[in-house]
């Protein structure tokens, strides 16, 4: 079966899916979201004990602002102190939408992304996507530093710069990246200037529906590229998506058959399988995936007679690959523990570690391998997305 990126709609939610060998390997959805929106908020309460503040950024909505995500550049009212106080007007950006009993997570490290770079207020230095080759990454950094050093018209002292994955493509020149940097800088500076003249609850910036689509399609394409898959099509039965991108992607196709893509690929049942508590492995073993308040836990079970030669190692290797697939599909984040089958063989453990590190690099979201404990528990952390 041909590898495809599928964009379709089910239950009023748009799905963006990478299918390889008939299996879902990467999945994202689009629903109305406030993530990335920038507001003028008012500090309602400061809780010293938890180093956090509660900021009302809409008439009916409060958010949580951790003290580590606060910087003095975002206090908008006249003040003689650099400390945040109750009643202060403050520039905030939504990092995460509210979930169940948790309020929206806010930050004062205001960030804006262009096509090739992202700027963040309150940070310093130049970073880059780890998916860009080292030689190319160093070359871009040198050109950006030279440009910043030799142009007094722009003050980047309060900004951190991140070079995005798109900048590493062969047809992207340093001049294109610098042009994107200037455009993004001017947009962010304009937002900050306007904020000082606006009242509480003013929306200064919101990502458009197209912005979200761009992010999700690029995420799918990067996944394919990261896994060395170049021969794929983007198939959609959504007219708005097709006509929006038909001039950007030569490999995009409009599906207009009477059978929907969801039915054609059996997406409903495949997605339900993904989110089950128990996940079967081809070897006969299985994973049990549990969510706790502190961490995500994945327990690996052999399901067979583990006295067979190499079965422990083979099951662990298969379990690690499937665990990373499940982490990616379920978008698990924070601390993740994978309880593998005990393996005393040092060479096997080294091979497992190398596989884990390889899978961390290939994950579209920043994922870090920490260690394998003495009890054979794999510790990783994954950034929220």
**Predicted confidence pLDDT, tens digits, the chain (385 residues):** 679 999 999 888 899 999 998 889 999 988 778 889 999 999 998 988 788 899 999 999 999 999 889 888 888 886 666 788 899 999 999 998 887 678 899 999 999 999 999 999 988 889 998 888 889 999 999 999 999 888 877 788 889 999 998 898 888 999 999 999 999 999 999 999 999 899 999 999 998 888 889 889 988 998 898 888 888 999 999 999 999 999 989 899 999 888 889 988 999 888 888 888 888 888 888 899 998 888 899 999 887 655 565 688 888 999 999 999 999 999 898 899 999 988 888 899 999 999 999 999 888 888 999 999 888 899 999 987 6
Supply 275's token pair: 């989110």
State pTM to two decimals.
0.75
Give CATH 3.30.230.10 domain extents, the chain: 111-195
The domain over range 111-195 is classified in CATH as 3.30.230.10? yes
Q: Are 349 and 372 in contact (CB under 8 A)?
A: yes
Tokens 């995009």 belong to 252
Where, residue-wise, is CATH 2.40.50.140 in the chain? 38-109
CATH architecture of 4-32+209-270: 2-Layer Sandwich (3.30)
List the CATH code of the domain at 275-382.
Answer: 3.30.1710
The span from the CA of 335 to the CA of 380, in Å, is: 6
Give every CB contact of residue 66 below 8 A, 6+ residues apart in sequence.
51, 52, 105, 107
- Nearest-5° Cα angle at 129, 127 to 132: 115
Residue limits of CATH 3.30.420 in the chain:
4-32+209-270
Asked if 111 and 91 touch (Cβ cutoff 8 Å), the reply is no
Q: Which fold has domain 38-109?
A: OB fold (Dihydrolipoamide Acetyltransferase, E2P) (2.40.50)
Outline which parts of the chain fall under CATH 3.30.1710.
275-382
């Amino acid at each position: 079966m041909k590898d495809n990126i599928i964009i379709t709609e089910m239950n009023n939610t748009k799905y963006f899916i990478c299918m390889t060998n008939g299996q879902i390997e990467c999945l994202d959805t689009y629903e109305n979201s406030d993530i990335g929106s920038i507001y003028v908020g008012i500090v309602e309460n400061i809780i010293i004990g938890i180093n956090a503040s509660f900021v009302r950024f809409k008439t009916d909505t409060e958010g949580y602002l951790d003290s580590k995500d606060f910087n003095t550049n975002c206090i908008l009212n006249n003040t003689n102190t650099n400390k945040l106080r109750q009643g202060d007007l403050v520039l905030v950006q939504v990092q995460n939408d509210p979930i169940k009993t948790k309020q929206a997570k806010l930050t004062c490290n205001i960030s804006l992304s262009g096509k090739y770079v992202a700027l963040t207020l309150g940070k310093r230095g130049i970073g880059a996507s780890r998916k860009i080759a080292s030689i190319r990454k160093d070359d871009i950094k040198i050109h950006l530093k030279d440009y910043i050093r030799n142009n007094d018209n722009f003050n980047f002292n309060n900004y951190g710069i991140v070079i995005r994955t798109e900048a590493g493509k062969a047809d992207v020149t340093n001049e294109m990246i610098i042009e994107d940097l200037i455009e993004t800088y001017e947009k962010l500076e304009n937002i900050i200037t306007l904020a000082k003249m606006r009242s509480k609850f003013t929306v200064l910036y919101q990502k458009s529906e197209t912005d979200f689509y761009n992010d999700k399609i690029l995420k799918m394409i990067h996944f394919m590229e990261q896994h060395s898959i170049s021969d794929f099509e983007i198939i959609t039965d959504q007219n708005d998506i097709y006509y929006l991108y038909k001039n950007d992607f030569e490999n995009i196709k409009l599906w207009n058959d009477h059978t929907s893509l969801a039915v054609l690929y059996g997406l409903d049942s495949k997605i339900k399988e993904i989110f089950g508590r128990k996940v079967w492995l081809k070897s006969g073993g299985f994973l049990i995936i549990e969510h706790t308040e502190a961490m995500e836990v994945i327990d690996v079970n052999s399901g067979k007679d583990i006295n067979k030669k190499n079965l422990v190692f083979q099951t662990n290797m298969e379990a690690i690959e499937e665990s990373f697939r499940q982490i990616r599909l379920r978008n698990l984040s924070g601390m993740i523990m994978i309880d593998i089958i005990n393996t005393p063989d040092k060479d096997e453990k080294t091979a497992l570690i190398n596989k884990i590190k390889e899978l961390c690099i290939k994950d579209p979201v920043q994922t870090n391998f920490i260690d394998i404990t003495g009890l054979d528990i794999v510790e990783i952390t994954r950034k929220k997305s």
